[in-house]
Amino acid sequence: MALHVAHRGSLFISKMALFICQMFTGVFAFEALIKIVAFGLLEYLKNRWNCFDLTIVVLSLIELGLRNVKGLSILRTFRLVCLF
């Protein structure tokens, strides 16, 4: 919802949505890193949900790194699936 509101033109809301996006990406990346350290990479990748989470984290990091490039908004759709 925050990303949808950000497209209406308000600079404050746009900056807040970006901050929230970065915050959630950081939390999910930290979680994945902790699990990889705890279980080891091979054991971590045996669980399909962990593979899915890692894919979402990598896509989110790519999107944040390339946020000024047009046409990458489809990556946000994959991140939404992670919340459900």
Q: Where are the domains of the chain?
A: 40-84
pLDDT at 32: 95
Q: Which two tokens stand for residue 29?
A: 């990346």
Question: How much is the pLDDT for 75?
Answer: 60
How far apart (Å, rounded) are the C-alpha atoms in residues 33 and 39?
Answer: 10
Q: What distance in Å separates the CA atoms of residue 9 and residue 24, rounded to the nearest whole number?
A: 22
pLDDT at residue number 38: 96
pLDDT in tens, the chain (84 residues): 445 544 555 888 878 888 998 999 999 999 999 999 999 999 999 999 999 999 989 988 888 888 777 666 656 666 566 555
Task: Measure CA of the first residue to CA of the last residue in the chain; give whole Å.
Answer: 14
Nearest CA to 55 out of 45, 70, 65 is that of 45
* pTM score: 0.67
